Structures are given as C-alpha cells and as structure tokens.
Amino acid sequence: MEPNKLEFIEQNIAELHHRLPQDIAVINGLAQALEKIETLFPEHQKIPEYITKFKNDLEDKFSELRREFDEDHDKLLEESQTILSQLDEIESNLASKINDFKHQQQETETELRNELSILKSQLNNYGQTHKNLHDQVSELQSEIKYLQQYNVQLTAKINQILGKCTHEGNSPQDLFCKDCGEPINILQQIRQYQVLKILTKEAGINSYVACKKNHDTHKYQRLSLQKMKIDITQINQWETEFLQMGNTFKNLVNRGIPKLIDFFVEGEYKYLVMERLFGQNLAEYIEQKRTISSQQGIQWMIEVCEVLDYLHNQQPAIIHGDIQPANLLVQNLNNHIVLQNFRTINQIGMPVNTFLHSGIYAAPEQKYGPLLIQSDIYGIGVTLIFILTGKSPEKFYHQGHGSNQFHLEATDNITKNLQTIILKATQPNPDNRYSTAKELAQELKSRY
C-alpha cells in the first residue's frame, strides 16, 4: 500500500476516535432528556409511541455505528500492521542491497588500487628501460662519431699511402676538388648521375646540381637534375606521353632552351637531366639590380618571343605554359635569356592539380582549359609590366564592371606605345591578343 493511502487511513481512525465520544455523549443526552420528559408527564399520560420508537431507533443506530466502527477499526488496524510488515521487509531488503553494494564497491576499489599499483610499477620499469635505452643510444652515437672520425683518418691514411687526393684546401662552396678534379661530397647516386648540391625543394619538385663522369676523358660534366613526384597509379596512361615529349625536347636546338640530356622514370619519381647553366632568374636579377633600362627589358622579351616562336612552330606545337620572371634565366656568360621549367613536360604524370596556373602571370584560360599559344603571349605581357616597373603586376590589375585587365595609365616608366602593346598581349580573351609570338616580337622591334 502506498504511504499516502496509509496516512489517509490513519487520519480517518484518528477522526473517528475523536468524534465517537461526542456522538455517545449526544445519544446519552437524548436518552436522559426522554427520561426527564417521562417524569414530567402525569402517570395517566403516556409518552407517545413515536418518542419511544425514536429512542429505540437511536439506540439501534448507535449500536450499528458502534459495530461499524469496531469493524473498520479492526480492518484498518490489520491493514496498518500488514503495511508496517511490508515496510519492514522493504527496509530489510534495501539494507541488504546497500550492504552488498558497499561490499562490491570495496572489492572494486581494492582491484583498482592493485591495478594502479601494477601500472605504476610497470611505468617505473618502462622509465628505467627508456633511460637505459637512451644511455645506450648516447653511447652508440659517441661510438659512431668516433668511428666516423676514425674512418676519415683511416681514409686519409689509405689515400696517402695510395697517393690519392684528400681534397684538403678546398672551400665549402667548391663542388669539385681543385687538385684532383673529383667531386668532394656526393649526396646521392641516381643511376649514373651523382648529386652534389640541393638547389631548390618545392611541392613535388626538387632541383639539384649533379654531375656525370665521361669515362673517355675522365672529366665530369656539370648538370642540372630535376626530380618530380608522379602519380604512379596512372603511369600506364602518361608514361608514353612523357617519353615522347622527352624525345621531342632532346632534339630541340636553340640557345634559349637548356639542352635536355636524359629523362627517365624510377620508383615514384620522374627525372629530367639538363645542361648546367649559370646565372640568375629574372625575378632575382631585378630584385638585386632594382631597375633596368626599358631597352634591356624589351630586348629580353624579344628574345623570349623568338624562342617561343621556335617552340610554337614545332609539330605539334610546344607551349611553355609558365612564362614568368622566375622561369627566365639571365645567363652570366652572355646576358641572354634562357627559358626554364617547361610546364608542358613538367606536368606530365604529376598528381592532379599540381600545376594549375602561376598566379597573376597565368592567362585566364589556364584556370579552366588547355594551354594555348596565346597563353605564353599573355605571360610575356605581364612579365613586361614587372620588368619595367619593378613591382608586382597585381598592383595594376583590376577586376569588376566587365573589365578584368591591367590599368597602366598612371605608370610613368611605361610609354603609351608600350602600354598599348602590353594591353593587347594581356587581353582576357585569347582571340584579342597577338596571334603569334613572332607578331609580338615584330611589334616590339618596330616601336623600339
């Protein structure tokens, strides 16, 4: 039975106990009143029967109420005792479960303490093991360092005995020994090529200074070696194209193009081996020189146009695809321009989106479609802005209101004639640019 019902029963019992004496007193009072009434009447006058009946009815009613009260009281008392018994049983069960829970909790805490103690012990053992390993590594490093020093000394002794050069007296910048002509420090061997120096490391492309020994003359040829990450999973789709393009480049003969000596695929990389040229790219050159004459800048772009005209007239046409100052080398030997980093061959086999476009120097169509001859012409026009102003072409490019192109009106170092040439070369629509590199070169020559 619910606690609220039990409380309700107890309240009814209390109320009956409270009212019962009052009800009895009322009935007794009525009986006494009837008796007094009988004494007041003369003997010959009798109490009406209805009064007697009323008294009897009251007595019967009282007896019935007394009986019902006794029955209800006994029943309620019995239910109360049952409820109390159930509550005692519930309390006993709850106490038992609480004791069981406390016992289980104590066992769990004991187990956790034991496991924690074991883990602490293991951690201490690991710490000691790590310290021992660290000490062993330190000892090994010391031994390796000693062995390396000993190896250097031993090698020098052996070379001295055998009459070989020890490469002493060379500066840190020297790649070949001044005495014997041999490479001083070989970083890596890739097939028959020895890597001597890292030039650049970019996303997917590494450039090195390398060499190859001519076994007839016993002299070393200095080379540039490019190592490019490839999508090996698609090699069957592009390897033939790469080999064909490599053969095409190998047969090119032009002073504005580095001579391609070798090309191959090995592992997850493809390699291009070219003649080693000395100089600075145009971006570095202008950064150091700050300014150059308009005549010199135009002459360089005429040279670029002539090289591109040679490439564009190959069958099929070869498009550079990345004309910008960083890819134009000013040679120390003769101050002529050489084109580097041909996107046409570099992008073959590279992971998707490795070469999309080169920022401000890329023609709009390079972001969405195939390369065009006019894409190279666009790059020349933007490069002219950089050469003549010494500033990033982005400062002169404006977008919006249907005019996405360069605005050169406020530039003092670019004449009106040059502005006209540059704006035609950099038209957003390829059909509105110069149709060939030769046409652009002739325009530059006729104006200057």
The model's pLDDT over 337-378, given as tens digits with 9 standing for 90+, comes to: 999 988 878 777 666 555 545 689 999 988 877 889 999 999
Residue ranges of the chain whose pLDDT lies below 50: 1, 44, 356
What amino acid occupies position 286?
I
- Tokens at 330, concatenated: 């000013």
Dihedral in degrees, nearest 10, Cα atoms 184, 187, 190, 193: -20
Torsion angles phi and psi, residue 80, rounded to 5: -60, -45
Structure tokens at 302: 């005429």
361 in any annotated domain:
yes
Encoded amino acid at 117, one letter: S
* Residues 271 and 283 grouped into a single domain: no
Of 275, 307, 325, the residue at which a domain comes to its end is 275
Cβ atoms 361, 355 nearer than 8 A: no
With respect to residue 176, please indicate whether it lies within any of the assigned structural domains: no
From the list 319, 322, 385, 400, the residue with the least C-alpha distance to 359 is: 322
Number of domains making up the chain: 3
Q: Give CA–CA dist 393/361, Å, rounded.
A: 8
How many CB atoms lie under 10 A from the CB of residue 147?
Answer: 11
Q: What's the token pair of residue 71? A: 């029955």
Distance CA 412, CA 294 (A): 12
Q: CATH code at 197? A: 3.30.200.20
Q: What is the CA radius of gyration of the chain?
A: 54
> How confident is the model at residue 165, as a pLDDT?
77
Let me know if residue 171 belongs to a domain: no
Exposed (0-12), middle (13-18) or buried (19+): which is 309, by Cβ within 10 Å?
A: middle
Does residue 182 form part of some domain?
no
Terminal-to-terminal C-alpha distance of the chain: 113
In a domain, 107, yes or no: yes
pLDDT at 290: 66
Q: Are residues 90 and 207 in the same domain?
A: no
Same domain, 321 and 430: yes
Q: What does the block give as tokens for 7?
A: 């409380």
Work out the burial of residue 429: count CB atoms within 10 Å of its CB; fewer than 13 is exposed, 13-18 middle, 19 or more buried. exposed
Per-residue pLDDT of 235-266, as tens digits, reads 777 888 888 888 999 999 999 999 999 999 88
On whether both 271 and 293 belong to a single domain, the answer is: no
Q: Indicate whether 303 and 442 sit together in one domain.
A: yes
The reported pTM is 0.61
Average pLDDT over the chain, rounded to an integer:
83
Domain housing 406: 279-447
Residues 247 and 296 in one domain: no
Q: How far apart are CA 193 and CA 213, in angstroms?
A: 8
| Pair of tokens at residue 266 | 């090995």
pLDDT at residue 79 in the model: 80
pLDDT of residue 351: 61
CB atoms closer than 10 angstroms to residue 442 = 14
